[in-house]
Structure 1
Amino acid sequence: MRKSALLSGILYLILGALFTYFAVQSVRDHGGWGFFSYILVILATFDIGTGIRLISFHYFIKRAARKKQER
């Protein structure tokens, strides 16, 4: 079963938001930035970046398919 780039992108954005939430909670609970907080922020950054890239790729493919049909 194939997943669309849009669905994968949305899932990555959700994971990025979840990692961001956990990082904020970790900083709030421990009173400062620790190693685990930095790891969570790095994971969130990669996930959000990948999610945005996949969503833009989905719309790029849709736009290319639409142009191909118009020819």
Structure 2
Amino acid sequence: MVRSPLSSGIINIILGVLFTYFAIQQVKMNDWNFFVYILLLIATFDFGAGFRLIAIHFKLKNMKKNQ
């Protein structure tokens, strides 16, 4: 089964929100530590990939529409 870029992008954004939430909770329980930076780095990659995949979805949709 092949997933569309839109659904993969939405999943990545949800994961980015989840990792950001975990990082915030970790800072509240403890202080800033290495684990928080790792969580935020993963969240950043997920947000970037998610927005990129959503942009690809709309570019492909526009290309199919113009054909």
Counterpart residue number, 2:5: 5
Counterpart residue number, 1:62: 61
5+ residue gaps in structure 2? none
TM-score, normalized by length of structure 2?
Answer: 0.99
Rounded to whole Å, the distance in 2 between the matches of 1:26 and 1:37 is 7
Paired-residue identity, %:
51
Letter in 1 for 2:17: A
Greater Cα radius of gyration, structure 1 or 2? 1
Rounded to whole Å, the distance in 2 between the matches of 1:6 and 1:36 is 30
TM-score, normalized by length of structure 1?
Answer: 0.93
Distance apart, 1:22 and its partner CA = 0.1
Q: Secondary structure at the match of 2:3?
A: coil
Within a 5 Å distance, the mapping from 1:10-21 to structure 2 comes to 10-21=10-21
Rounded to whole Å, the distance in 1 between the matches of 2:66 and 2:48 is 27
The number of residue pairs the alignment matches comes to 67
Rounded to whole Å, the distance in 2 between the matches of 1:64 and 1:37 is 40
Distance apart, 1:21 and its partner CA = 0.1
**Any runs of at least 4 consecutive aligned residues in structure 1 with deviations exceeding 4 A, and if so which?**
none
- Deviation digits for residues 26-50 of structure 1, max 9, x if unmatched? 00000x2100000000000000000
5+ residue gaps in structure 1? none
Letter in 2 for 1:8: S
